[in-house]
Chains A and B, each alone.
Chain A
Amino acid sequence: MSKPGEFYQRDRRWHPPALAQDYKTSVTRSPQYALISLENTASEITGPTFGHNDIDPLDHDLLRNFAGEGHSPIGERIIVHGRVLDENARPVPDTLVEIWQANASGRYRHKKDTYLGSLDPNFGGCGRTLTDADGYYFFRTVKPGAYPWRNWVNDWRPAHIHVSVFGSAFAQRLITQMYFEGDPLIATCPIVNTIPDPTAIEQLVAPLDRNATIPLDSIAYKFDIVLRGRRSTLFENRLEGN
């Protein structure tokens, strides 16, 4: 019979390796032994599910989800939208997408962030939403600022938004970062460059999407996210153990 089977093997040459010397923090946090390859079992092909009871309708609107009544955060108003697909180009519906980011001055609302940039009293910096039946999602926010970080003495992170996605299986769990088209800091960022393949890096750069801008209101960037796809084969794959 035909039913979804194992997930395609993760292409670990597409992802960053655990150890990337130029991203100094990875040096002591990277496993040195080879990973043990595990064929999928029920533990990997299942994963948590989320519903509309878990989140609030305003959670995806960073212009409003922390701002005081009648106020909005300072910064370029943007829409970030796209689809969550799998490697077979099928939409991933009803999956939780969570984002977090610095404000327009490059400062995070986090007790461990001590950067000089100001906090914005009307900006929290996190949002979450569920994809619809077509895998579509969107957020409204402000464009984050670049900020310095301690790696080499003069390192600056390009503007970015952190993105966390679940998919339908624990094997699909992914955290990544979205960058903005045209940002000159992308090319020199040691975290971006943990990814060895320039084509893979391009997959993290969201283009300006003029068709999705709201005239006189917000400009838009499009960011499609691809999660691991899975086999669909007529051949017995013995996943169920029979």
Chain B
Amino acid sequence: MPQKLDYLKETPSQTAGPYVHIGLAPGAAGFDIYARELGWDIAGPNAKGERIRVEGIVIDGTGSPVKDVLLEAWQANADGVYPHPETAGEVEDGFRGWGRVITDFETGEWAFDTIKPGPVMGRDGQMMAPHINLWVVARGINLGLNTRIYFADEEAANAADPVLTLIEWERRRATLIAARSDRDGVPVYRFDIRLQGQDETVFFDI
């Protein structure tokens, strides 16, 4: 018998279920318990860069909106720096880089306000286009889904992005690119997520 490897196994995932709001956004579940709910302010008041809104809807395989989703966003600041001890560089005071948002119980729409991140250094010295990392959980999703939001007005950077170009099917890359519009002077990016079916969003095994 060879020696035994003594690694532990990762705890298996289970669905977040329909009542994920109780734990992670109790205000939305209908009660007030924590002095501070987490994840409602991604960038903070001092962040440099362009203030933007990102919004969308999550659509299931029947084409219907999914109304009990929780999404978490993770992004760098405008200089491409993540607020984390392993990254070189500082972020603005109050910049968390992380946000949590739920879909509306009636419409399935979600939205968060942040700043547009800068490009981030990737592997092998290849710069990654500005993007927001997204993690999607809900009833019926057995293991959280990872995807990325890229920005339509970053055409040149997107074309050179090592992650987007890794996606063999060029037409699928478009599922990760949020369209930009203006609403009352605020740039709004639209990022609809299709869990399955035609134009299924690209999800990553990270």
A residues sitting closer than 8 Å to B (CB atoms) are 4, 8, 10-12, 14-18, 20, 23, 25-33, 35-50, 54-56, 59, 65-66, 85-89, 96, 98-100, 108-113, 124-126, 128, 162, 164, 168, 170-171, 173-177, 191-192, 194-195, 200-201, 203-204, 225-229, 238-242
Contacts and interface: CB of A to CB of B under 8 A. Distances in A.
Interface string B139-152: 11111111010000
A18 B203 CA distance: 12
B18 A41 contact: no
Contact of A28 (B10, B60, B97): B60
A13 to B, nearest CB: 10
Interface in B46-82: 60-62, 66, 68, 72, 74, 76, 82
Given A126-B23, A126-B26, A241-B126, A203 B121 contact: no
A171 B148 CA distance: 13
A231 to B, nearest CB: 12
B105 to A, nearest CB: 7
B14 interface: yes
Given A16-B13, A239-B123, A111 B144 contact: no
Interface of B: 6-24, 26, 29-31, 33-36, 38, 60-62, 66, 68, 72, 74, 76, 82-87, 96-98, 105, 120-126, 128, 131, 133, 135, 137-146, 148, 163, 166-167, 172, 195-197, 200-206
Contacts of B141: 18, 26, 29-30
A29 B122 contact: no
B24 A35 contact: no
Contacts of A170: 74, 133, 135, 146, 206
A10 B123 CA distance: 20
A16 B33 contact: no
A233 B82 CA distance: 24
Contacts of B17: 162, 177
Nearest to B120: A42
B20 A14 contact: no
A10 to B, nearest CB: 7
Contact of A56 (B35, B125, B138, B142): B35
19 contacts: A10-B205, A16-B13, A17-B142, A28-B60, A43-B128, A86-B8, A100-B24, A110-B22, A111-B30, A112-B18, A162-B20, A164-B16, A173-B144, A175-B13, A191-B14, A191-B15, A226-B11, A241-B123, A241-B125
B98 to A, nearest CB: 3
A166 B30 CA distance: 25
A127 B13 CA distance: 19
A175 B16 contact: yes
Contacts of A124: 22, 26, 31, 33
Contacts, number: 268
Contact of B10 (A10, A111, A162, A201): A10
Nearest to B68: A112
Nearest to B39: A48
Across the A-B interface, give the 5 residue pairs with the lowest CB-CB distance, nearest first.
A100-B23, A25-B140, A48-B98, A29-B140, A46-B84
Nearest to B166: A36
Nearest to A50: B38
A110 B29 contact: yes
A68 B148 CA distance: 44
B19 to A, nearest CB: 5
Contact of A42 (B72, B87, B146): B87
Given A11-B9, A173-B72, 10 more contacts: A17-B142, A30-B142, A30-B195, A39-B123, A100-B23, A108-B19, A110-B29, A111-B29, A124-B22, A176-B11
B12 A110 contact: no
A226 to B, nearest CB: 5
Contacts of A39: 123
Q: Select the residue from A99, A126, A227, A240 with max chain B CB neighbours within 10 A.
A: A126
A30 B200 CA distance: 10
A45 B206 CA distance: 10
Contact of B11 (A40, A168, A191, A227): A227
A108 B144 contact: no
